[in-house]
Amino acid sequence: MNNDFFARAFSDSARCQSEFIASHAGMLRKVAEILVEQLRTGHKILFFGNGGSAADAQHLAAEFVNRLVLNRPALPALAITTDTSILTSIANDFDFKSIFSRQIEALGVSGDIAWGISTSGNSPNVIEGFRTAHSKGMTTIASLGNLGGVIKDMVDYPMIAPSNSTQRIQEVHILLGHALCEWVERTLFK
């Protein structure tokens, strides 16, 4: 390998990010406003996803609860991807498709936000999580890739990274999560 490999990777990531913001700027502003309003009125964000997306869910929940840029009061966010006892008991007693929906059933209330992450847009457990979130009157936000899959048509706000490359999709997802968190911080705690 030579430096061209690395230059192509960085260039492709920058292209995906530029295409994403060009096609989603209006939606990002709307999602940012909804996050601010729901958090301001005492609601919470439940993050969820599989594999690297589970790690992104945990990462973003930490940014909201602790801080990203500003030293400010904690915001209510939870990654429902992290409790191994809950995850394994649900997968064992019911099925793997139910690992997020059961937790959303237990923890989510009308006005809360369900923010699922799926690079394929077709993760069965993320789909079931969104179905339960809708039944509870929650706002649904999805960070997606691969043209959005099935999930794009079942959520309130589908944010689709313009790629079928998992790593490029995840790079867009973490950037949009950081940007939204910073917007929320600066809006709520100027």
Task: Provide the pLDDT for residue 3.
Answer: 80
Strand pairing report for 139-144 and 113-118: parallel
pTM confidence score: 0.96
- pLDDT tens digits, one per residue of 5-41: 999 999 999 999 999 999 999 999 999 999 999 999 9
- pLDDT tens digits, one per residue of 39-78: 999 999 999 999 999 999 999 999 999 999 999 999 999 9
Could you list the beta-strand ranges (E) of the chain.
Answer: 45-49, 77-79, 113-118, 139-144, 157-160
Task: Provide the pLDDT for residue 100.
Answer: 98
Mean pLDDT score, 167-183: 98
Residue range 3-188 forms a domain whose CATH class is alpha beta
Residue 141 identity: I
Q: What is the CA radius of gyration of the chain?
A: 16
Q: Average pLDDT of the chain?
A: 97
- pLDDT tens digits, one per residue of 100-153: 999 999 999 999 999 999 999 999 999 999 999 999 999 999 999 999 999 999
